[in-house]
Structure 1
Amino acid sequence: MATRSSLSSELPEERRISIDSKHEDNDKASLEEVTYEEERPWKYKLIALLCVLSLAVGSHYAAHTLDALKSIVKTELGISNSKYGIIQSAVSLVNTILPIFGGIFIDIFGTWIGSILATSLIAVGNIFVALSANLRSFAMMVIGRTLYGIGSGTIVIVQTAILSHWFKGKGLAIAVGTQIAVSRLASFLSNLTVVPIWESTGFYGWALWFSALLCVISLIINIIYIFLMKMLHDELSRHEMKKIKQKKKFSPKKLLVFPNIFWIFVLLEFGLGSAWTSFLHTQTELIKVRWNSTDKYAAFASSIAQFLPIFVSPFLGHFLDRFGNRSLTLIMSSIFLTISMCLLGFVELTPIVIIMGTICFSISLSLGPVVLLSSIPIIMPLDYVGTALGIDKSSSNIGSTIYDILVGILQDKDGGKYGMVMRFYLGNSVCVIFISILLYFVSKNWRNGILDMKEDERKRKRAIVKVKDYNKPIKMNYFYIAIFIALLITSWVLFFNYIN
């Protein structure tokens, strides 16, 4: 199958009428494509869904193997908390810029090459991480995490793009919710199993080698998916080729026409996404230090944070499709994050407090990501979705890089304790509440409240954001882009300042 004719090569638009103002006379052809999209057999959709969900199992397992091993990694490699922050931020650092280009790549070329490169880098990177445990090499672990980061950042965009292709207008939020649930299941099992693997084998490196094996399996599944799509190519290529011919080259000027509401999502992704990610990196040791527990219990307790999204995310996707209210859901996610930080950081820890605090964090983690991911295709036109997702993910990784390093610095200054760290997280979560409230009021007046509409209502009102709606630059976008670049530079400066 040729790269440009992959079935996942473009994100379709729900009831799309035209590609842009230059193609308005092609309304009939576009409408035929939409009808065809909706008539695709569910057996093909199910095959695509299962394969896509399997793509990142190894990646998400690997993402949290070091979380539960923080204490032993610092001991074995002889590093400080800030150096451990460098190891974790190596993943997010490369993804401060790569998701942008990954999104552009999907806009122009589709997902075939991107998925192969992503899963290959994930596998090779985690093999390096496993080797670093055997060699006790801090440098090799950073290199391995960097390679892994390059692949892991792109694979999320690839997954979302493929799911949007198959399920746009037919339960995209449910599909995205299922994607997040499977990812969280892999992360939950990672937190739950790495310490037992370490204790049963006597060497923590075996947990890392098991993670690398899962990443290789994900690569094999990716290859299987491509061959399955090649088998379907003869049936669907005529329609796919029609859409591919309608593609346009990416222009950076597109950034200047992005709506203000999109940048609110970028800010929320920065505040929420980086808080979720960086806190998961330290929660196990937080419980161990504050409650003086064993590694095994701390890892078990922290794994609960990944448990609820496994079951809640798909149902939340159905809720969003049926009832809307995305902005209210983000407010709830922010509130539960704040409650969690209060319980885990400022209340005397008991088993009940630990469980309740972790459950609140898990609720926040269940609600937020589904809304953030599934909202972008609603507020952005077809041709901009890949790039918008890339910028959105990049903002999360900029925040994660800064937060991971800053948390390590604060912990070192606090003598290895978590008082300063938790005050930082609490302040961040309170700010996010206000930002999510801002989104609520903005969304009410933006395009007749399309963001919070039910899926059926959007269809009935033909409420679609089209490319021709974004034909004038917005002056405020220069300011937003400048802030984005400033934070990007800050993340890189912090990383290289503390890696030595």
Structure 2
Amino acid sequence: MASNQPQVPLNEKGTEDRLARPGSSTAESAASDDEQTKLELEDGFEEEDEVPAVVIPLKYRITAIVLIILFGTGNTYAGFVLGPLKTRLVRELKITNAQFSVVSSASSLVNTLLPIIGGAIIDRYGGSRIALGSAVLCVAGTVLSACSSIDNRYTLLVGGEIILGFGSAIQDICQYKLYPHWFAGSHMGLIFGVNVAWSRVIQLVARLTAVPMADIGPGRYWGWAMWIPCITTFLSGFCVYAYYFFENRILPAQYRPPKPEVHSEQSLLSDWKDTIKSIVLLPKFYWIMNVTQMLQGGATRVWLRNVADIQVKSRGTSEQAAGYNAALQTVIPIVLTPVTGLFFDKIGWRMVFVTTTSLIWILVWGLAGFTKVNFLAPVLISSFAYVTNLIPFMATVPILLPSNELMGTAFGVWQSYQNAGTLIMDVASGAIQDKTPGHQYDRVFIMIMAFKAYDAFLGPFYDWLDGRWLGHQLRMPERKRRNKLVQLELRGQKYKGHERSKFWTWVGCSVLSAMVVTGWALYIIYSMAR
């Protein structure tokens, strides 16, 4: 059958290549140009070419997905009550805007590196096992944050947010590790979309209830805005343990996610060292996307965490009204995010949304920062950017990997990049705001708009790499993409984009290290009381 796809470089892939490590003769041989072959990929497969797979009954999939989605409900709620309370916390704790940025980015501090370790361990021991420990960390973090309200202790609040952040990041990776097992090849994009949509629902509730919770009682004790999320985090932890029981006691063995066995303490230590080394097995396209996206998530987070305070500063809106208005930007994504995920599953074209989302953000920030239009206009427009801000990358990371074996490590490195970028942008934006006359956001908007202008060019760049290295896998619907990938594996071949590159691994690790050092330096400097 004639093909419209470009010639895609492929390598012969045997068992030795999958187990080879950088520096070994096998790995170098597999990467050499002499052994590369080109195979013209057909646009699709005939019905008889589809690879049979174990079909998990719907009742098990629905039960699993509901419980997995509920993993992060409590910690998401706890993390998003801080934004609407910025003005209140700055006043109650007697801190600067930069110090509030330290609080709001505290969860990103430990998550600049630890998700990599956590992701590798998740790959080795399974998502459900590690989720048990992360649930305990989330509860402990919210308890500390709530206790800080008793006598307005800024340092205790920072400590609680750090612990909560680490638990939340590991829990997120556990979710991302488990989702492909249940829905890869069918509705993986939809499930990621539902996950994001549910997170948006919780964010909406958090923004709507944060200020009212802080005014409960005759003394208007703001601590209720911390204690109530603490209770929801405990309930989410119960869902984690319920899933573990379901997976190991109720689910038939043939449907369970694979778990390697650990036979002794010695083998556990040895396997732990091996999983840490798995970072060098990540493919080059994956590293390129990480490096080029390093500060983009942080730029968006500056807006999301400060949108209520921006209204107070630029439009004179009351704190409570600003909190309600800010919550509106999460309404549309609740409906459209799953639709976007379903679009990826049925149609494809994931990278188109990278550019369109960036252009929408530029429009939003221009209206909010440099005009006096009703603030509801940029808030409502931003909701459309919010729909496609995250899900294209969540749906893309699994495609950039040759198999699910490194899923935890890949999402761990991605989380580390995003958290390091968020840490840098959060603290830097707070410092810039402090030095702006009237503590306005004009200079902050200029900075984040510049980053999004650069991001607008990355969508076409990724699409070009996709065509060159992955045969336009990122354009394909999920079933067609999965079938084509499995067919290549059966032929003993793989996409060039799934190859490892020592150069891009070195660049990726170096950039991440520099971001971590920069973020920690900014954090330490601005967390000091003045």
Q: Give TM-score scaled by structure 2 length.
A: 0.83
2:393 to 372, 382, 404: 372
Q: Does 1:88 align with 2:104?
A: yes
Deviation at 1:492, TM superposition (A): 1.1
Check 1:251–1:127 CA distance in 2 against 1; reply closer, same or farther (3 A cut).
Answer: closer
2:458 corresponds to which residue? 435
Q: Does 1:306 align with 2:322?
A: no
Deviation at 1:20, TM superposition (A): 5.9
1:236 corresponds to which residue? 253
Give the SS at the match of 1:368: coil
CA contact (8 A) 1:121 1:148 kept: yes
1:9 corresponds to which residue? none
Give the SS at the match of 2:65: helix
Gaps of 5+ in 1: 1-17, 25-33
2:349 corresponds to which residue? 325
Give the SS at the match of 1:448: coil
CA distance in 1, matches of 2:14, 2:359: 40
Q: Does 1:135 align with 2:163?
A: no
The AA in structure 1 aligned to 2:430 is G
Give the SS at the match of 2:450: helix
2:521 corresponds to which residue? 493
2:311 to 287, 294, 311: 287
Give the SS at the match of 2:81: coil
1:437-476 alignment to 2 at 5 Å?
437-462=460-485, 469=494, 473-476=501-504
The AA in structure 1 aligned to 2:447 is F
Q: Between Structure 1 and Structure 2, how many residues are aligned?
A: 468
2:37 corresponds to which residue? none
CA distance in 2, matches of 1:285, 1:199: 18
Q: Does 1:316 align with 2:310?
A: no
Deviation at 1:447, TM superposition (A): 1.9
CA contact (8 A) 1:269 1:372 kept: no
% same residue: 24
Deviation at 1:435, TM superposition (A): 2.2
Deviation at 1:155, TM superposition (A): 1.0
Q: Does 1:21 align with 2:15?
A: yes
The AA in structure 1 aligned to 2:79 is A
The AA in structure 2 aligned to 1:445 is R
Deviation at 1:200, TM superposition (A): 4.2
Check 1:447–1:83 CA distance in 2 against 1; reply closer, same or farther (3 A cut).
Answer: same
CA distance in 2, matches of 1:488, 1:404: 14
* Bigger Rg, structure 1 or 2: 2
Check 1:464–1:318 CA distance in 2 against 1; reply closer, same or farther (3 A cut).
Answer: farther
1:413 to 400, 413, 435: 435
The AA in structure 1 aligned to 2:187 is G
CA distance in 1, matches of 2:108, 2:135: 16
Alpha-carbon displacement from aligned partner over 1:427-486 (angstroms, at most 9, x marks no partner): 121121122332122222222111211123224434678697456543233223211211
CA distance in 2, matches of 1:405, 1:242: 40
Alpha-carbon displacement from aligned partner over 1:373-428 (angstroms, at most 9, x marks no partner): 11111110222221111111111100110011001101110142111111111112
1:212-361 alignment to 2 at 5 Å?
212-233=230-251, 235-236=252-253, 250=274, 254-267=278-291, 269-350=293-374, 354-361=375-382
Q: Give TM-score scaled by structure 1 length.
A: 0.88
Alpha-carbon displacement from aligned partner over 1:250-308 (angstroms, at most 9, x marks no partner): 45554445333213431454333222323211111001110001011100111122222
Q: Does 1:385 align with 2:385?
A: no
CA distance in 2, matches of 1:244, 1:165: 18
2:134 to 102, 111, 118: 118
CA distance in 1, matches of 2:358, 2:365: 11
CA contact (8 A) 1:334 1:436 kept: no
The AA in structure 1 aligned to 2:521 is V
CA contact (8 A) 1:100 1:394 kept: yes
The AA in structure 1 aligned to 2:406 is Y
Bigger drift between 441-450 and 258-267 goes to 258-267
The AA in structure 1 aligned to 2:284 is N
Alpha-carbon displacement from aligned partner over 1:39-71 (angstroms, at most 9, x marks no partner): 211000000011011111111111110100001
CA distance in 2, matches of 1:288, 1:407: 17
Give the SS at the match of 1:69: helix
2:43 corresponds to which residue? none
Check 1:20–1:204 CA distance in 2 against 1; reply closer, same or farther (3 A cut).
Answer: farther
Deviation at 1:199, TM superposition (A): 3.0
The AA in structure 2 aligned to 1:113 is R
Give the SS at the match of 1:156: helix
1:50 to 66, 75, 86: 66
CA distance in 1, matches of 2:204, 2:384: 14
CA distance in 1, matches of 2:343, 2:519: 36
CA distance in 1, matches of 2:487, 2:90: 51
CA distance in 1, matches of 2:173, 2:256: 23
Check 1:361–1:23 CA distance in 2 against 1; reply closer, same or farther (3 A cut).
Answer: same
Structure with bigger helix share is 1
CA distance in 2, matches of 1:181, 1:268: 26
Give the SS at the match of 1:332: helix
Give the SS at the match of 1:134: coil
Check 1:195–1:237 CA distance in 2 against 1; reply closer, same or farther (3 A cut).
Answer: same
Bigger drift between 111-120 and 263-272 goes to 263-272
Q: Does 1:104 align with 2:127?
A: no
CA distance in 2, matches of 1:289, 1:239: 52
Check 1:431–1:486 CA distance in 2 against 1; reply closer, same or farther (3 A cut).
Answer: same
Give the SS at the match of 2:430: helix
Bigger drift between 453-462 and 105-114 goes to 453-462
Check 1:255–1:220 CA distance in 2 against 1; reply closer, same or farther (3 A cut).
Answer: closer
Bigger drift between 169-178 and 362-371 goes to 362-371
Alpha-carbon displacement from aligned partner over 1:313-332 (angstroms, at most 9, x marks no partner): 11111100111000101111
CA distance in 2, matches of 1:472, 1:276: 30
Gaps of 5+ in 2: 1-11, 19-50, 263-267
Check 1:313–1:485 CA distance in 2 against 1; reply closer, same or farther (3 A cut).
Answer: same
Report the RMSD for the aligned CA atoms in angstroms: 2.5
1:209 corresponds to which residue? 227
